[in-house]
Amino acid sequence: MSSLKGKTLFISGASRGIGLAIALRAAHDGANVAIAAKTAEPHPKLKGTIYTAADEVRAAGGKALPVICDIRDEAQVIAAVDKTVAEFGGIDICVNNASAISLTNSQATDMKRFDLMMGINTRGTFMVSKYCIPHLKKAENPHILMLSPDAREPHARDHGRCGLCHPHEAVARVHRAVLYR
């Protein structure tokens, strides 16, 4: 595997979980990591903030930029991307990690939860990619990584849940066509 040394990653939802794990792996190579997430203050049930994640990235050998960003808010996404480019000079990899899920079937999923999932998983993912693409096009080897729940898991296959799991894939197909033209 080639090194991520000096490469810049913009990672949504990087304050904890898989997003943080990706950030730490990149940091071990000496990457620059923009930690774009909503959590600035500690949550009573969930570990991690953008600031604790940034400390971990620095301790692992990377450079970190903690950026408060709710990917449903266009102004926050634009500001986060702009701060990343100002700090690190560009973006090489966009990691769409932020997501929301409901493990209920269609009939049990209330519309507020549905709107949250579509706002984050589809609109937010599209928006993060959209505003990263102009900078990715300037990179030597640009990538967009889309993460989403696995519909092969038994909880996703049961009771019509699968349709709520893969909005990231639809956005990925749109951006694949744009980025590689």
Q: What is the CATH number of the domain that holds 164?
A: 3.40.50.720
Q: What is the largest CA-CA distance in the chain?
A: 48
Segment 138-179, tens digit of pLDDT: 999 999 999 876 555 554 445 454 444 455 555 555 555 455
Segment 37-87, tens digit of pLDDT: 999 898 888 889 999 999 999 999 999 999 999 999 999 999 999 999 999
* Single-letter amino acid, residue 1: M
CA dist., res. 69 & res. 104, Å (int):
27
Q: Where are the alpha helices (DSSP H) in the chain?
A: 17-28, 50-59, 74-88, 111-117, 125-136, 154-157, 167-179
Whether the pLDDT of residue 6 is over 80: the answer is: yes
- Residues 123-127: what's their mean pLDDT? 96
Whether the pLDDT of residue 97 is over 90: the answer is: yes
Would you say residue 2 lies in a domain?
A: no
Model pLDDT, residue 1: 55
Let me know: does 35 contact 23? Beta carbons within 8 Å.
yes
Model-level pTM?
0.85
* Single-letter amino acid, residue 58: R
Would you say residue 3 lies in a domain?
A: no
Whether the pLDDT of residue 134 is over 70: the answer is: yes
Would you say residue 149 lies in a domain?
A: yes
Q: Say which residue, 179 or 124, is predicted with more confidence.
A: 124
Segment 25-43, tens digit of pLDDT: 999 999 999 999 999 898 8
3-state DSSP assignment of residue 136: helix
Domain that holds residue 42: 8-179
The angle formed by the CA atoms of residues 76, 80 and 83, to the nearest 5 degrees, is 135
Structural domain count, the chain = 1
Would you say residue 1 lies in a domain?
A: no
Phi-psi region of 111 (alpha: psi -120 to 50; beta: other; left: phi over 0): alpha
CA dist., res. 152 & res. 126, Å (int):
23
Model pLDDT, residue 162: 45
Tokens 């930690």 belong to residue:
35
